[in-house]
Amino acid sequence: MKLREVMPGVYRAGRELATVNLTPGQRVYGERLIRHGGKELRCWSPSRSKLAAAILLGLRKLPLSSTSKVLYIGAAQGTTASHISDIARDGVVYCVEVSPRAAHSLIALGEQRPNLVPILGDAASPESYASLLERVELLYQDIAQPEMGRLLLENCSLFLRRGGHLIYLIKARSIRADKPERIFGEEVERLREAGVELIATMRLEPYERDHMLVLGRWRG
């Protein structure tokens, strides 16, 4: 298999993506491990991770480097977060998750990975995690809350550096039962009004229905 580094820290072979395993020998969610040039890589499945889906669907630029500081809101069990932690290996990934059930796995992941900070907290009350944070370069939000757009902006203004990037997963179904296109339009407009410079928007079909990923730059 021929692996090619398509973005810093992200490898691709045909329809498959992978990242260099920060903790060799360990799997996070049962993903396949591959040896490549003396390194161990973890396959990154687009059906498990919306960010992987977006990359396969043509997202060209990932605002992530090996030293990035990231705030990940809605990290769940840490599937996607673990790959971000692979990429930002010398940086730090602050992961916030509200559900105790998911946070349990996330805490275990934080114990394994030296650059992953697991936090059981609620995006709707940033004071529950503010004292652990610093301003970051990338804010990634994937939560299922009707108020997700407002929360994104609130968290950006608190924790995202000016000129930093944001990745916003819009889950139309979680906002309300309406035509997804209409909801996406409103959400994008909301970001534009808040002064976010839009870099890319993409629907995630066929991997996720009624989801859109927005990549933007925060000028706050």
Stretch that binds another protein, among 18-26, 39-47, 170-178, 189-197 (CB under 8 A): 170-178
Among residues 55, 44, 42, 89, the alpha carbon closest in space to that of 70 is found at 89
* The one among 9, 110, 164, 216 contacting another protein by CB under 8 A: 110
- The CA distance from 188 to 183, in Å, is 9
CA–CA dist 212, 47 (Å, integer): 15
* Sign for the pseudo-dihedral over CA of 58, 17, 67, 123: positive
Binding of residue 92 to another protein (CB under 8 A): yes
Interface with another protein (CB under 8 A), residue total: 31
- 124-143 residues near another protein, rule: CB under 8 A: 126-127, 130-135
Contact 117, 93 (CB under 8 A): yes
Residue 15 or 176 having the CB closest to another protein: 176
The answer to whether 183 contacts another protein (rule: CB under 8 A) is no
By the rule CB under 8 A, 119 interacts with another protein: yes
Output the CA torsion sign for 204, 207, 211, 215: negative
CA distances (Å), origin 210, targets 147, 163, 207: 17, 29, 10
**Does the CA dihedral 186-75-88-22 come out positive or negative?**
negative
Q: Between 22 and 55, whose beta carbon lies closer to another protein?
A: 22
Q: Please pick, from the candidates 3, 7, 33, 120, the single residue that binds another protein as defined by CB under 8 A.
A: 120
Q: What are 105's two structure tokens?
A: 């796995």
In the range 46-75, which residues lie near another protein by CB under 8 A?
Answer: none
- At residue 182, what are phi and psi to the nearest 5 degrees? -65, -45
218 binds another protein (CB under 8 A): no
Reported as type and span, the H/E element at residue 149 is: helix 148-159
Identify which of residues 57 and 158 has a Cβ nearer to another protein in the complex. Answer: 158
Is 28 one of the binding residues for another protein (CB under 8 A)?
A: no
User: Least separation, in Å, of the C-beta of 202 and another protein?
Assistant: 25
Place of tokens 């349990």: 104
Nearest residue (CB) to another protein, 50 versus 69: 69
The minimum distance between CB 104 and another protein, in angstroms, equals: 6
Site residues (vs another protein, CB under 8 A): 92, 94, 100, 103-104, 106-107, 110-111, 114-121, 126-127, 130-135, 158-159, 161, 176-178
